[in-house]
């Protein structure tokens, strides 16, 4: 995606995941927003975006952060919300291991408390280490943690998978995390 569309995608993440009220947008209980209303309100608040821009972002975004409904008239973020929404995800048994990318500076806290969701609805996990590494690199020198997801599942922890393949859970207790040796965090 070109720089202009990347900027517009970040704006969509902001209003569809965290601050719809920033432009006066209303999300329904499941996180859906009317596409034309989103365009109208975004432009009225000084953000130049068209329905065609949004369609290109939905179709071509590597991370597939957004989904259109079957009519093509509504849009929502696939996960990562800090506002209350019900994405209607069904519990699903995860693979044996999943991965979480983070910055090495967070390791002392994670060793103590595990992975917590913070302001988001869930902890986000990847099915492959490369994706987790890319996510972790956004926050500083990265480290990839291996999550014993199947063991968590068998102990009663619930997992979901978003439409774009991200695995979600409420909390990953430290005993279910395999930490690589990282001298920076010792």
pLDDT for 161 beyond 70: yes
Q: What CA–CA distance (Å, rounded) separates 152 from 158?
A: 8
Give the angle subtended at the CA of 186 by the CAs of 181 and 107, to the nearest 5°. 80
Q: Give the mean model confidence (pLDDT) for residues 22-32.
A: 95
pLDDT for 146 beyond 60: yes
pLDDT for 73 beyond 60: yes
In the chain, what are the domain boundaries?
Answer: 3-77, 98-185
74-101 residues labelled b (16+ CB within 10 A) or e (exposed):
bbbbbbbbebebebebeeeebeebbbbb
Among residues of the chain, what percentage have pLDDT more than 90? 74
Q: Give the mean model confidence (pLDDT) for residues 80-108.
A: 92
**CATH for 98-185, among 3.40.50.2300, 3.40.50.300, 3.20.170.30, 3.40.50.970?**
3.20.170.30
Q: Is it true that domain 3-77 has CATH number 1.10.287.3510? A: no
pLDDT for 105 beyond 70: yes
Q: What CA–CA distance (Å, rounded) separates 150 from 133?
A: 21
Instruction: For the chain, give the number of residues.
Output: 186
More confident residue, 71 or 4: 71
Q: What CA–CA distance (Å, rounded) separates 28 from 16?
A: 11
State the pairing for strand pair 167-169/159-161.
antiparallel
């Amino acid at each position: 995606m070109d720089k202009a569309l990347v900027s517009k995608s970040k704006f969509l993440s902001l209003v569809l995941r965290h601050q719809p009220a920033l432009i006066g947008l209303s999300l329904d209980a499941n996180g859906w927003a009317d596409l034309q209303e989103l365009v109208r309100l975004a432009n009225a608040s000084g953000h130049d975006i068209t329905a065609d821009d949004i369609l290109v972002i939905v179709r071509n975004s590597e991370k597939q952060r957004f989904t259109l409904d079957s009519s093509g008239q509504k849009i929502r973020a696939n996960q990562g919300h800090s506002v209350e929404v019900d994405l209607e995800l069904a519990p699903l048994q995860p693979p044996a291991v999943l991965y979480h990318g983070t910055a090495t500076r967070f390791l002392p806290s994670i060793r103590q408390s595990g992975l917590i969701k913070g302001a988001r609805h869930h902890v986000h996990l990847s099915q492959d280490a490369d994706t987790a590494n890319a996510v972790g690199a956004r926050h500083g020198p990265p480290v990839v943690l291996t999550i014993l997801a199947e063991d968590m599942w068998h102990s009663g922890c619930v997992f979901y998978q978003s439409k774009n393949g991200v695995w979600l859970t409420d909390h990953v207790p430290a005993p279910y995390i395999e930490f690589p040796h990282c001298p920076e965090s010792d």
